[in-house]
Structure 1
Amino acid sequence: MPTNPGDGESSGLASVSHLPWQQIPRFQPGTTNVDEYTQRLRFLRDLWPEDQLHLLAPRAALQVEGVAFQKIARLDPAKLRSKDGIKLLVETLGGSWGKTKDEEKYFYFEQAIYQTNQRVDETNDSYISRHDTFFEELLTRNVTINEIRAYILLRNSQLSPEDKKRVIVESAGDLKYEQTIKAIRLLGSKFFQELQGRNASTSGTQGRGMERTKVYDIHMNEADETEDVQMAASSGSPEDEPTDLCFYLENQDEDAIYARRTPDAVILVDDDAMPRFGA
């Protein structure tokens, strides 16, 4: 039994002082990744003592900054102090608290395979750490090479976003390579294109676009296609020349600077195909 009123208050503070308050993340609109923010709060919620859970959401709400705090300020404080207060906070900030296993799996597919690239100013250790994190998430979900192959095949196809969603939904979150091939062939068939073209013309919307009839060599890659585009662009009209001149001016090319200073100069080419300028 406390001997004075201050003893009860001090004992109450001591009971919550051990909680990891400093680990509650800040939320900055336009800077904070909502998915990472949600994942961290879910981890804290699982670690938090059940009898102190009503303190977590109010403290996290005070860590929200900028215009996002205006949304939080309109929430009912009583709801924030409930057990589902942290879920309410996340959903108010635009996150998804109750992602399904399939949603999480495809999220990590995208992050691991396509979105994790080393940045110009990033250290090798930082890049490797991010790469390992997302692939470890895939491995813990027992993702097979068959699923990865199916996902890449579907993502890189020219099906519309609606058709890609349809393939994933009809697979019930379990993409299989053989079924994905059948779906792509069916949805990309001439029958479906004509059918959707008629529906588009009836509703007054634009159709699917050009028909695909070209067959490429199996060894063709994006680099080969890029070279063809560059060769075609190099034979373009003289209207592209000012853009090229600006590029060389930005790189402090001496010939480009001279050409800008003497616009009436004539370009001469010697036997070594090296351009020089003369009056």
Structure 2
Amino acid sequence: MRPTTPRLFQVLRTLQHENPLGLPRTGSIPRMQRGLPERRKMKDVSKVVAVSSAKGGVGKSTVAANLSLAFARMGYRAGILDTDIFGPSIPTLFDLSEEPRLSPNNQLLPLSNYGVKTMSMGYLVGEDAPVVWRGLMVMKALQQLLHEVDWGGLDVLVLDLPPGTGDTQLTITQQIVLDGSIIVTTPHTLAVKDAVKGINMFKKVNVPLLGLVQNMSLFNCPHCHHHTAVFGSNERIKEICQQQSMDLLGDIPLHQNVGGDGQRGKPTVVSEPESERAQAFTSIAQQVAIKIGL
């Protein structure tokens, strides 16, 4: 006798069929009838780019920070918004720890360093304080970060998204107009699998995919100068880009200075602007600028 499907699987299939999150479908009922908020442009921000990985530990925040710095070095008014409520990284990467002041119209004023305006929950809760909140509080805080920051006029704002494809990502994609998304991954099989999930999420919510960044792609031994694919071959990355009709924006080599620069609060684009690594970030930013019409 064929075993019955466990009840959990039945529930999951039902939820998938009913689509309770209201994700767009071809031929679905209009957005307003589904009760979803209208996407709106962020005030005083021309272009908004989301940087996502769907998996933690692949260097997404480091990539996002260096991209915002590359935009600034290219002459754009650039900013970065850290949307990771539980594990903010931007305060460390930009060596900032002050509490933001309020503008006359009661909006948060960004903190700046290296020519980039930044905002993060890390500025509001303290470096060692855990954010022990349930979902409703997290969403309320996120909405404040999205709509109650006085950016003062930006050409481009980089959103550093937390890992995953859950509430935070859906709230962002459903509430604001995104000009595109960048997926960051390493060549490791597990990271690539999650990257594909991130790609499919942005497709579901109709956010343009600007391309994929392969981080920690090759390690160049400083002694023998031999290149080693520590996390595996990048052939799988190329296959994913072909299957998903995406551009491979660039490869960031595995180098101790990339992580070390970030830990010191002076990312690679600022600390080593002439290095091969910084040039890789700049090349990616140049491609993104063209794609979003900067």
| Band of TM-score, shorter chain | under 0.3
Structure 2-normalised TM-score? 0.20
Structure 1-normalised TM-score? 0.21
Greater RCO, CA 8 A, separation 6+: 2
Tell me which structure has the larger Cα radius of gyration: 1
Q: Which has the higher strand share?
A: 2
Q: Which has the higher helix share?
A: 1
